[in-house]
Amino acid sequence: MSAHGSPIRMTSRKGGPLSGVAAVPGDKSISHRALILGALSVGTTRITGLLEGQDVLDTARAMQAFGATVTRTGPGAWTVEGVGVGGFAEPAEVIDCGNSGTGVRLIMGCMATSPISATFTGDASLRKRPMGRVTDPLALFGARSYGRAGGRLPMTLVGAAEPVPVTYTTPMASAQVKSAVLLAGLNAPGQTVVIEKTPTRDHTERMLRGFGAEVTVEATPEGNRITLTGQPELRAQEVAVPRDPSSAAFPVCAALLVPGSDILVPGVSQNPTRNGLFLTLREMGADIEFLNEREEGGEPVADLRVRHSALTGIAVPPERAAAQIDEYPVLAALAACASGTTVMRGVHELRVKESDRIAAMARGLEACGVRVEEDEDTLIVHGLGPDGVPGGATVATHIDHRIAMSFLVLGLVSQQPISVDDGSPIATSFPVFEDLMRQLGASITRD
Ligand SMILES: O=C(O)C1=C[C@@H](OP(=O)(O)O)[C@@H](O)[C@H](O)C1
Ligand SMILES: C=C(OP(=O)(O)O)C(=O)O
């Protein structure tokens, strides 16, 4: 599943206002976790609203390989018959996680404390990404890993036959690392503790509790101290996956940029560990109304009414980085059309995503005529104001869905169209992106 086939060149160009309802698909982070926790539970978990993007489909296939029965019963409707904590079978095949850092790192976590081994691989993007950040803490449980230089995939992980519980302070703000440790802790006796200096998305903690595990979170001077009591019996659940705020970011930013636009984006998570972009956009002058605030699938959600707005560059608070980590590419594209400068600091984690997102955005924006500055931890975009971005370039996306979608959004307002060399990775997280954007009135074509 890691082959992307032939590249799909796509182009976006200026057109009329965007209007209508942008019902974006299910949350990717929660979809992975629903399948994984379903596989680790006793009984049949029923999931609705599952994101049917390639990243999540790869996790579904992996759960089958470890012994769970995963069945699609309708659009976004899936069941998982779990094998219980500690019940994973040794897979007979290589686990190919495609483009998904979340998939591979969480799955490594949940097999690391079982007496089985598995070999993991992924596409050319995932094979470049660092896995030491999960295999280091997993080694403390007793797991061993054999990968390529620099802790790269392909990699074989040998699970601990007699795991011990672990107390681990995450060295970087990463929900994937936190989650890998907590999932490994499920099959270790006693209490596994993760301390994180900066809070990151908390779906694993919320969902583990929902599946019946004992998880406590305590605020300490060192940061959040998350304690999991090992070897629980997880019980199958009904999971209604809320819509993905990281996907919502694309139609939201497009509507803010295209003159005359007025759209509604229903059911967007307002989980404080995920809503950083919306706070940032409001500080830039965005007209976003949060309507009908409620709870869905255990997450606070709201319907967003978004209207075209005059935007001003700001310094994004670095402490907000984790809560909008996947939204920096589209924020950088939007910042190019703001008046003034947008400063994004504390963003070094962007360098180890599907691509080096600081470099990919900087090179792409420069090709479109925008002045940027970067250092290891910073991206600064000098906005050209509405109508100021020349465009007229073909941007390299480096097998990165968010780079592709960000430049397709920018092309809706640049003076000349913008093309991306390969839009096929969009299917990893937002398979209906083109249709949804076209229905709103955007001009996005395949060349
Ligand atoms: O746990 C998750 O579901 C995710 C965590 C983040 O990655 P890091 O843990 O590398 O920050 C994020 O970028 C990714 O898209 C999804
Ligand atoms: C970083 C992302 O995903 P992952 O790490 O799961 O590949 C993303 O979707 O932006």
How far is Cα 152 from Cα 304, in angstroms, rounded to an integer? 40
pLDDT score, position 4: 59
How far is Cα 439 from Cα 447, in angstroms, rounded to an integer? 19
Average pLDDT over residues 333-360: 98
- Indicate whether residue 205 lines ligand 2 (CB < 6 A): no
When divided into structural domains, the chain yields a total of 2
Q: Quick one: 153 and 184 in the same domain?
A: yes
- Indicate whether residue 354 lines ligand 2 (CB < 6 A): yes
pLDDT score, position 170: 98
Q: Quick one: 101 and 198 in the same domain?
A: yes
Average pLDDT over residues 137-143: 98
How far is Cα 310 from Cα 49, in angstroms, rounded to an integer? 34
Q: Quick one: 385 and 331 in the same domain?
A: yes
List 326, 356, 400, 422, catalytic entry: 326
Average pLDDT over residues 78-86: 98
pLDDT score, position 296: 86
* Domain span including residue 96: 28-229
Q: Quick one: 54 and 187 in the same domain?
A: yes
pLDDT score, position 298: 81
Quick check: 395 and 416 in contact, CB under 8 A?
no
* Torsion, CA 107, CA 112, CA 116, CA 120, rounded to 10: 40
Q: Quick one: 146 and 249 in the same domain?
A: no
| Mean confidence (pLDDT) of the chain | 97
Q: Is the pLDDT of residue 41 over 60?
A: yes
Closest ligand (CA of 174): 1
Q: Quick one: 411 and 372 in the same domain?
A: yes
Closest ligand (CA of 354): 2
CA of 402 to the centre of ligand 2 (A): 9
Average pLDDT over residues 282-303: 94
Q: Confirm whether 235 is domain-assigned.
A: no
| 435 included as an active-site residue | no
Closest ligand (CA of 250): 2
pLDDT score, position 1: 38
Q: Is the pLDDT of residue 52 over 90?
A: yes
Q: Quick one: 376 and 293 in the same domain?
A: yes
Q: Quick one: 221 and 247 in the same domain?
A: no
Q: Confirm whether 293 is domain-assigned.
A: yes
Average pLDDT over residues 335-341: 98
Quick check: 431 and 22 in contact, CB under 8 A?
no
Domain boundary among 201, 229, 257: 229
Q: Quick one: 167 and 270 in the same domain?
A: no
Q: Confirm whether 234 is domain-assigned.
A: no
> pLDDT band at residue 297, thresholds of 50, 70 and 90?
confident
Beta-carbon count within 10 A of 186 CB: 25
Q: Quick one: 188 and 266 in the same domain?
A: no
pTM of the model: 0.98
Average pLDDT over residues 310-334: 98
Q: Quick one: 293 and 225 in the same domain?
A: no
Q: Confirm whether 237 is domain-assigned.
A: no
Residue-wise pLDDT for 241-278, tens only, equals 999 999 999 999 999 999 999 999 999 999 999 999 99
Q: Is 129 annotated as a binding residue?
A: yes
- Provide the CATH number for the domain around residue 127: 3.65.10.10
Looking at the chain, the whole-number percentage of residues with pLDDT higher than 90 is 98
Q: Quick one: 88 and 212 in the same domain?
A: yes
Q: Is 178 annotated as a binding residue?
A: no
Domain boundary among 179, 207, 229: 229
How far is Cα 40 from Cα 235, in angstroms, rounded to an integer? 9
Q: Which atom of ligand 2 is nearest to 429's Cα?
A: 9
pLDDT score, position 358: 99
Q: Is the pLDDT of residue 157 over 60?
A: yes
CA of 353 to the centre of ligand 1 (A): 9
Q: Confirm whether 4 is domain-assigned.
A: no
Q: Is the pLDDT of residue 2 over 60?
A: no
Average pLDDT over residues 209-234: 98
Domain boundary among 195, 229, 263: 229
Nearest CA to ligand 1 atom 10: 174
Q: Is 237 annotated as a binding residue?
A: no
Q: Confirm whether 97 is domain-assigned.
A: yes
Q: Is the pLDDT of residue 3 over 60?
A: no
Name the packing angle between helices 245-257 and 328-335 (round to 10°): 10
